[in-house]
Amino acid sequence: MESVEASVDDELLAFETGALDPAQFPHTEHVRLGYEMLGRHPFAEALKRFSQGLRLLAAKGGRPEIYHETITVAFLALIGERRALGGHNSWEDFRDNNGDLMHKRCLERWYDAEDLRSDVARETFCLPGPRR
């Protein structure tokens, strides 16, 4: 019987290589795989791998323009911070204690929705706060 960790490693490999089906990759899966990736790599490496995987999935789905740099970096940073602070023993424990992250719009706690819709935020990471 295959271990859970090996199964997750296989999922991460499929994600990183663009082998996953974009139609079967809802927001909670983004968060779950971000959580798992951050458990295996330092933040900078996880971000590189995660953003590459998302770009591949977006392209595979025929919509490369939906990749969003600010949302990707901000969500991964939140997941990483909460992993570090929370002492969670599993994905299920993390999910159950971080329900706000399961909602796509949770970044609006820090970001103005209009700022997140901007081309600048889509193309480069932007910090939250007022724009000049």
In the chain, % of residues over pLDDT 90: 87
For residue 89, what pLDDT band results from cuts at 50, 70 and 90?
confident
Residue-wise pLDDT tens digits, 41-74: 999 999 999 999 999 999 999 999 999 999 999 9
Residue 131 within a domain:
no
Picking from 76, 77, 97, 78, the residue whose alpha carbon sits closest to that of residue 86 is 97
For residue 3, what pLDDT band results from cuts at 50, 70 and 90?
low
Rounded CA-CA distance 43/130 in Å is: 26
Rounded to 5°, the CA angle 49-1-32 comes to 30
- Which helix (H) or strand (E) element contains residue 9? helix 4-16
Residue-wise pLDDT tens digits, 12-22: 999 999 999 99
pLDDT the model gives residue 2:
52
pTM of this structure: 0.90
The count of structural domains within the chain is: 1
pLDDT the model gives residue 1:
41
For residue 4, what pLDDT band results from cuts at 50, 70 and 90?
low
Rounded CA-CA distance 32/27 in Å is: 9
Residue 27 within a domain:
yes
Residue-wise pLDDT tens digits, 91-104: 999 999 999 999 99
- Domain range for 21: 4-123
Residue 116 within a domain:
yes
For residue 131, what pLDDT band results from cuts at 50, 70 and 90?
low
